[in-house]
């Protein structure tokens, strides 16, 4: 039963991170900030999203800016603390592989 709970928590965390990525992408200023912080080009996001840790990195980015965190939490109808829990469930930071 324990693995079912962790699997459910992981799926919920992934869903929240995908919502957060959509929230970031909705606004050119937020997207530009995210791209600058990650070093990604906009056309590389889909590929990067398949890498382990990327979704956790999206949530870490949200957590790193209080106004962004509050805006996302309000938009998603969640408590900001849920973002931190989801980031922890996804386990860590994403580091982009450099060519």
pLDDT at 5: 64
Residue 94 to residue 58: CA distance in whole angstroms: 8
Element of type H or E holding 82: helix 80-90
- DSSP state at residue 44: G
- The residues spanned by each domain of the chain are 2-90
Mean pLDDT by 10 residues, the chain (99 residues): 72 95 96 94 90 91 96 97 94 55
pTM of the model: 0.85
Residue 16 to residue 29: CA distance in whole angstroms: 21
pLDDT at 95: 55
Q: How many CB atoms lie within 10 A of CB 98?
A: 5
pLDDT at 81: 96
Element of type H or E holding 2: helix 2-26
């Amino acid at each position: 039963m324990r693995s079912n709970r962790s699997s459910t928590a992981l799926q919920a965390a992934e869903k929240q991170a995908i919502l957060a990525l959509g929230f970031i992408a909705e606004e050119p200023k937020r997207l530009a900030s995210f791209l600058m912080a990650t070093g990604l080009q906009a056309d590389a996001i889909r590929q990067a999203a398949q890498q382990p840790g990327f979704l956790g990195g999206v949530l870490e980015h949200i957590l790193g800016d209080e106004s962004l965190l509050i805006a996302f939490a309000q938009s998603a109808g969640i408590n900001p603390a849920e973002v931190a829990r989801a980031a922890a469930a996804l386990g860590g930071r994403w580091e982009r592989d450099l060519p």
